[in-house]
Structure 1
Amino acid sequence: MNQDIRAPRVLLIDQNGEKQGVMPTSAALEAAEEAGMDLVQIVSTSEPPVCKILDYGKFRFQEQKKKAEARKRQKVVELKEIKLRPNIDVHDYEVKAKAMHRFFDEGDKVKVTLRFRGREMAHPELGMKLLNKVQADFEEIAKVEYAPRMEGRQMIMILAPK
């Protein structure tokens, strides 16, 4: 910016966005001073560097606004967990399914954990049947990211919104 520009010649763009051509840095600084604005180096990698006449305070404010807006639009995908049991009741399943619908609408992934206790470990096929039902119920709004798999005493599946 202004006196910090070390290049002997610069490509100048005025405050209206019009290209003024290649000129000595001192002449570009004079032009910026006449306009009552700052000379800011926009592209330093090109030869000669591109400099623009603009109000630096306003420029910084606009850049901060753009960054804040980009951060606001950015959605962090969370992993929500739904815990089930192999012998879940119909109404309980519907409540869990409703919660999963809400998570998918918010754009979050859902980890479905099916926990086995005691003798239930002898029948992992019941768990697989339940997870296949979950998969079928949500196939139009979610895709399987992590197929049903047994991990210790629990069976896990991860679904992501389409």
Structure 2
Amino acid sequence: MREEEFERLEQQIVRLTDLALQFGLDPFQMRYELCPADILYSIGAYGMPSRYSHWSFGKAYERMKMAYDFNLTKIYELVINSNPCYAFLLENNSLLQNQVIAAHVLGHSDFFKNNIYFHTTQRDMLESMAVTSKRFRQYEFEHGIDAVEQILDAGLAIQPLSIWCHRFQPW
């Protein structure tokens, strides 16, 4: 985006936020970031801006980024359900696209904040994940990357089963 478009987007975000509040939305305080595609897809692959290192995230990144590079898919934005709520917008979007996406993101934030299904969300997850990432780097230093990766491989292999068991408990 050009500088004047960036300034216009900032003005429109203020206007859109005011309109959202007037219409009764109650979003978290918002933080917007314009990101190049490689950063946005990196966040998408890792699930967060900061996370422990694992080869599967690189695999996911390559798959997502290749689909973007071949114009098969496009992530217009990523929103993190935290307080404040972070919205990462694709810098290659047009000004109009980012304006519409900013309004859309306010709806996400209101939903995250006010929907009963999200009331148990850890709202400081960005800080928590950064601390966890640091702890995993320390484990790699103390025990070696291979040992940590073996544990992560085992945990990530059964992760889908834990989600399934949680949803379909027969008891």
Query: Normalised by the size of structure 1, how large is the TM-score?
Result: 0.22
| Structure showing greater relative contact order (alpha-carbon pairs closer than 8 Å, 6 or more residues apart) | 2
Larger Rg: 1 or 2?
Answer: 1
Query: Normalised by the size of structure 2, how large is the TM-score?
Result: 0.21
